[in-house]
Chains A and B, each alone.
Chain A
Amino acid sequence: MKIVVCIKQVPNTDTVKIDPKTNNLVRSNVEGIINLFDRNAIEAALQLRQQAGGEVILLSMGPNSYISSLRDGLAMGADSAILLSSRKFGGADTLATAYVLSEAIKKIGNVDLILFGRQSVDADTGQVGPIVAEELQVPQVTFAESIELQDKNQLIGHRLLDNLVQEVKVHLPAVVTVRDEMNQPRYETPLNIQKSFEKEIIIWSENELAVDPAQIGQTGSPTVVKRIYSPEKAGRQTTTLPTDPHAAVTQLLEELNN
């Protein structure tokens, strides 16, 4: 089985700040890590490989600094990694990103399964997986809680829709986006970390891919960020209750009844 896992590198912090003067995001000094949910996707891929054999290929689009998270994914046990990196890919929104990923998947060739984390923890769109599925004209199981291989060509997935559990059977190739409930990602072992440094990370730019220049990077991105800001919330007036629980409850109940 040939499995591609698409991963994203995100800042390792909840506290990305806005520069009050320029209104730009300040991301310096924040180290990049693999998007949390993408580790679940890697884990799912490794488990399938264990069961059915084959290879797990990591794929990411971003600047060269993304090599560090690809390296982490290799240390979890993936076989190889490809970084799609070029100035021309910069400024891409979900549509342009998914387009380049799809072209890379076509170039890899004979891919059976493409896995994603359910969404990124930073931009939180969750839409790159479905766009890739559409670009490749393959079925999708999004927000999957479980996947089971039926045979070489079929997979059954369960996903929690808003108030029902849907059981779907897909023929491969297919796209699956993985919820964190599916598994517990493994830790990197010292041996795998060591091995990961022996593996080469392949870098492809637009020169290696059959991409239409009009559909990549900023040019290929219909959306524009108009403004980024920290909303000034009308904070609540906080009343501190007495330290004695009984006195506190008495005051609270009185005030709530008024």
Chain B
Amino acid sequence: MNNEIWVFVQVNGQIIEPTSLQLITKAREIAGERPVVALITETKTMNVETTVKEYGPDKIVTLKDAQFHNASDGEIADALDQVVSDLKPNSLLFPATVLGRSVAPRLQAKLKTGLTADCLDIYFDGDDLVQVKPTYGDDIMCEIICPDVRPQMATIRPNIFKAVKHSTDTEIINYSFAFHPEANIEVLSEIPVINSSANISEAKTVIALGRGANNEKVIEKAEKLAGKLGGMVGVSRPLTDNDEFSHENQIGQSGNTIAPDLLINFGISGAVQYAVGIENAKKVVSINTDAHAPIFGKSDYAFVGDADAFMSALLEQVR
């Protein structure tokens, strides 16, 4: 066993999933003397390492095989098992994306080690990687360790940490392994979801609508306002039932974590599952008819009153 911290780099199509880069930066921050290693699975023609290198891992380990195009969770886990069992890292981090949360536990089962899902923070206490995750929704945090088995595995929620470029001498290792196709599964197709606009997690201004602002008139005004402010419209979970919104727009625990400079909440109560998604917003303004709505506790500015009335005034007065 060595003392390295490994980060799995997720690649979607040709694009590096941003969380992977965020995790490289975070790993460097908490590493101390421990080397940070990026672990990449890619097809032979791809060159993800060139971009990953810019974020300054000490080492990059690449597994290349044409069959990584449309690989199944089981196939990816099998490939990772080969390199991890051989080189025995101390810790192994995954983005808590759908793919990360599907592959990591399969790998965990092969390695018979611990895995903590959806961490909000990690730090070292001696050799223990302390994994901090929320539980039972209600502002309860849990610190989990895996004292006796290595690697220590965790999936970490997207967009909690910032990716920062860093230049260093990075050693690149092309690891040779055998791709074992899984007989009983076939990935038939992967169709990119056309994201008409940018990702809400990267928007600078977010107009968020909840059940107290769920009518066509207000939604239309919100779209206009978002246009004027160069922002995007986000929603609490109940509004994803509307035709015009989807999971892409959802803010919160089972949706997106956002980090805008300005967030305006209309008719959102501020349930814990929503609130965890907005913790990184810089300025928060909330509009709610209920003076005791929990959302006000998470806000810099509070307007106790009607969503439509405030929205109309804002539309008029913003140029």
Residues of chain A at the chain B interface (Cβ within 8 Å): 11, 14-18, 25, 93-95, 98, 121-131, 133-135, 138-140, 142-143, 156, 159-171, 174, 181, 221-231, 233, 235-241, 243, 245-246, 248-250, 252-253, 255-256
Q: Which of B301-318 contact A (CB under 8 A)?
A: 301-306, 309-310, 312-314, 316-318
**With A and B bound together, what is the CA distance between A220 and B189 in angstroms?**
38
**Residues of the A chain whose Cβ atoms lie less than 8 Å from the Cβ of B303:** 240-241, 245, 248, 252
Instruction: Say yes or no: A95-B114 contact (C-beta < 8 A), given A248-B303, A252-B285.
Output: yes
B106 at the interface (CB under 8 A from A): yes
**Residues of the A chain whose Cβ atoms lie less than 8 Å from the Cβ of B193:** 160, 163-165
**Residues of the B chain whose Cβ atoms lie less than 8 Å from the Cβ of A170:** 184-186
**Residues of the B chain whose Cβ atoms lie less than 8 Å from the Cβ of A127:** 101, 104-105, 108, 115, 117
**With A and B bound together, what is the CA distance between A94 and B284 in angstroms?**
37
B290 at the interface (CB under 8 A from A): no
Instruction: Say yes or no: A169-B283 contact (C-beta < 8 A), given A125-B118, A163-B193, A250-B317.
Output: no
B297 at the interface (CB under 8 A from A): yes
**Residues of the A chain whose Cβ atoms lie less than 8 Å from the Cβ of B301:** 238-241, 252, 255
B195 at the interface (CB under 8 A from A): yes
| Contacting pair B317 A124 (CB below 8 A) | no
Question: What is the distance, in angstroms, from B193's C-beta to the closest C-beta of chain A?
Answer: 6
Instruction: Summarize B's interface: helix, strand, loop or mixed.
Output: mixed
Residues of chain B at the chain A interface (Cβ within 8 Å): 10, 12-13, 15, 17, 72-74, 77, 97-99, 101-106, 108-110, 112-118, 130, 133-149, 182-193, 195, 247, 253, 262, 271-272, 283-285, 296-306, 309-310, 312-314, 316-318
Q: Which residue of B lies closest to A162 (CB)?
A: B97
Other CB < 8 Å A-B pairs besides A123-B117, A174-B185, A240-B304, 16 of them? A16-B138, A124-B133, A125-B115, A128-B105, A134-B74, A160-B193, A162-B17, A163-B195, A165-B190, A167-B190, A169-B188, A170-B186, A223-B144, A236-B298, A240-B302, A245-B309
Q: Which residue of B lies closest to A239 (CB)?
A: B301
Contact partner of A249 (CB less than 8 A), chosen from B142, B188, B313, is: B313
Number of inter-chain CB pairs below 8 Å? 240
**Residues of the B chain whose Cβ atoms lie less than 8 Å from the Cβ of A124:** 117-118, 133-135, 253
Contact partner of A130 (CB less than 8 A), chosen from B109, B302, B316, is: B109
**With A and B bound together, what is the CA distance between A168 and B187 in angstroms?**
4
**With A and B bound together, what is the CA distance between A18 and B231 in angstroms?**
39
Instruction: Say yes or no: A238-B12 contact (C-beta < 8 A), given A18-B140, A171-B184, A174-B184.
Output: no
**Residues of the A chain whose Cβ atoms lie less than 8 Å from the Cβ of B316:** 246, 249
